Amino acid sequence: MVTASSQAPMPNGVMVGGIDDFPVGEFKILDVKGREIGVYRTTDGRWFAARNLCPHRGAPLCRGSVGATMLPSDPMEFIVGMDQEVVRCPWHALEFDLKTGESLFTDSTLRIGVHNVVVQDGNVWVDPRPKPSTRN
Amino acid sequence: MTDVIDANSSRGAAPNNPAVGAIDTDVHIYAPEGMKSLYPYLPAGLRKTFEMRGTTASGYIWVPQKYDFPHGDRRRVDTFPPGGGPPGSDPKFAQADLLDRYAFSGCVMSSLEAGLAGQGFFGVDASSAVCAAYNKVALEWYEVDKRFRLAMVVSSVDVEGAVAEIKSMGKHPGVVAVYVPLTSVPLGNKHFYPIFAAAQEMDLPIFLHITAAEFTHQGVPMAPFGTMENFSERRVSYAFLGPPVLNSLMFNGVFERFPKLKFAFAEFGFSWAVGLMCRMDATWRFARAGTPWVKRPPSEYVRERVRFGTQPMDDPSPEDMSKLISLLGPECLMFSTDYPHWDLDAPGHILSGESDETKRMIYRTNAQETFRW
């Protein structure tokens, strides 16, 4: 439920709807101050937001799948990790960390735009400013 | 307040789209209902055998599942037409989703399903009839939008049928090349000369493209280095398929025998071609007397009459890509996306380090001069 008295939990935050407006396990793509941003709600109650644009070839990133990935491992060993924290581009299957935006486990320096999401009083807020890189 | 928007809407040309008027030299189409879509164009008996056996064609090819694509399907999830059918089966959707979105002036279509037919997947006797039916379905796209041009497919296992198809369909204004699927017979072998002669007569270049059946069945090219174990190994190996083809054409004298014929290598990549040209030139200097019909350095024939599609771009830095293109020769490259497949190259995201003149050549004029445009 959207209430007029909601205070933004972050400066310039944009309230994008109530919790129930967001289906679990899929991106909902919104226009947030002129940027296309996909908001994703995980089955265990975490929220991610990513810009709907892959920096590699310009794909609509949020048409890609969100899930786990294989962590670097020894030959013929598979270690599943990062459940619901990885978005795979629908075109070249490049993987990005939804928490930081960074490319995963390759020498690629490509990075997607990711945004803070805060749920407060049943409302979902997105920071329209992308998170800074965590790399040096 | 926020608006919910179409998930595909951010995908578009860059603000200063360098590809306005470009020709996309590698686009794939699919028959909407596989073999059923071909029924109206097949001889009655052949149609009946396909009906009785439920032959689907579009479903569409058995390859070992260790080679499954990263997304499972080779086709992009965002290219399925809203009206149903597989990606690349609805000309109206492809017109808006590809040609209009990027402001292309044209594209060169091929059907890889048809390529399988040309490799003999439905049998030698049926191959030319199935190829001809695919060509008729594909040329319906030309009627929707004249920017859709076709690399007409022919059978590589029924040369007589292939020549007949070139002589009849090759006159169509929508046809700009002859697609010759690869088989276990090297392309420089005299087996193919009647096809080359017919194509040259029609002023049509030879278009080459993998079907994805390579390395998996007898009759198609087999890997000289044994079978591959996973998708990555296999995708890289497509870059090893171009060199033997070009090597065979070169030292069997095809460029002298057919002095006007051009070859378009689509989706083989091109970074390998630089090293291959050096190796061919050096070998020619040492061993020229054994193949005296190769009258000039092999790299000269390549720069004159062999063209490579840009997709899939190997992804070095823009500076290294510029060096590579300069070593190859910018006249050898033709822009291609590989729409609607998963590993396409979108305009504006490639060739960023090239001069305006090089971009103009690669995006448009090289293709105009190569295909019968």
Domain ranges within chain B, ordered by starting residue: 3-10+18-370
Nearest to A6 by CA among A123, A116, A115, A129: A123
Binary contact (A59, B14; C-beta < 8 A): no
**What's the CA gap between B216 and B213, in Å, rounded?**
6
Task: Quote the pLDDT of residue B62.
Answer: 65
Task: Quote the pLDDT of residue B348.
Answer: 82
8 Å CB contact between B213 and B188: no
- Band of pLDDT at residue B6, cut at 50, 70 and 90: low
Query: In this predicted complex, what is the ipTM?
Result: 0.78
- Band of pLDDT at residue A4, cut at 50, 70 and 90: very low
Mean pLDDT over residues B205-224, rounded? Answer: 88
- Band of pLDDT at residue B12, cut at 50, 70 and 90: low
By mean pLDDT, which of B118-127, B276-285, B296-305 is the weakest? B118-127
Share of chain B above pLDDT 90, in %: 75
Q: Does B129 score more than 60 pLDDT?
A: yes
The 10s digit of each residue's pLDDT in B241-296 is: 999 999 999 999 999 999 999 999 999 999 999 999 999 999 999 999 999 999 99
Binary contact (A27, B8; C-beta < 8 A): no
Strand pairing class (A117-120; A114-115)? unpaired
Residue bearing the bigger pLDDT, B224 or A25: A25
Task: Quote the pLDDT of residue B14.
Answer: 57
Q: pLDDT averaged over chain A?
A: 93
Q: Mutation test of the interface with chain A: which of B3, B11, B97, choosing the one with the most A Cβ atoms within 10 A?
A: B11
Q: What residues are paired with B208 via a beta bridge?
A: B265
> How distant is the Cα of A92 from the closest Cα of chain B, in angstroms?
5
3-class DSSP assignment, residue B287: helix
Task: Quote the pLDDT of residue B18.
Answer: 76
Nearest to A123 by CA among A5, A12, A16, A13: A16
CATH number listed for the domain at residues B3-10+18-370 = 3.20.20.140
3-class DSSP assignment, residue B77: helix
Binary contact (B2, A62; C-beta < 8 A): no
Q: Is B71 left (phi over 0), alpha (psi -120 to 50) or beta?
A: alpha
Mean pLDDT over residues A90-94, rounded? Answer: 94
Asked if A29 has any chain B CB less than 8 Å from its own CB, the reply is yes
Mean pLDDT over residues B18-44, rounded? Answer: 93
Task: Quote the pLDDT of residue A8.
Answer: 84
Task: Quote the pLDDT of residue B2.
Answer: 64
Task: Quote the pLDDT of residue B8.
Answer: 55
Q: Does B7 score more than 70 pLDDT?
A: no
> How distant is the Cα of A41 from the closest Cα of chain B, in angstroms?
16
Residue bearing the bigger pLDDT, B249 or B56: B249
- Output the pTM of the full model: 0.91
Task: Quote the pLDDT of residue A1.
Answer: 45
Share of chain B above pLDDT 70, in %: 94
Nearest CA in chain A to B313: A57
Q: Does A5 score more than 80 pLDDT?
A: no
Q: Does B10 score more than 70 pLDDT?
A: no
Task: Quote the pLDDT of residue B5.
Answer: 65
Task: Quote the pLDDT of residue B172.
Answer: 98
Residue with tokens 């720069």: B303
> How distant is the Cα of A71 from the closest Cα of chain B, in angstroms?
16
Binary contact (A90, B346; C-beta < 8 A): no
Nearest to B260 by CA among B321, B184, B198: B198
> How distant is the Cα of A26 from the closest Cα of chain B, in angstroms?
12
List chain B residues with CB under 8 Å of A62: 7
Strand pairing class (B106-110; B148-153)? parallel
Q: pLDDT averaged over chain B?
A: 92
Mean pLDDT over residues A65-81, rounded? Answer: 94
Q: What is the DSSP string of B234-250?
A: HHHHGGGTHHHHHHHHH
User: Number of CB pairs < 8 Å for A and B?
Assistant: 69
Q: Does B47 score more than 60 pLDDT?
A: yes
Task: Quote the pLDDT of residue B346.
Answer: 87
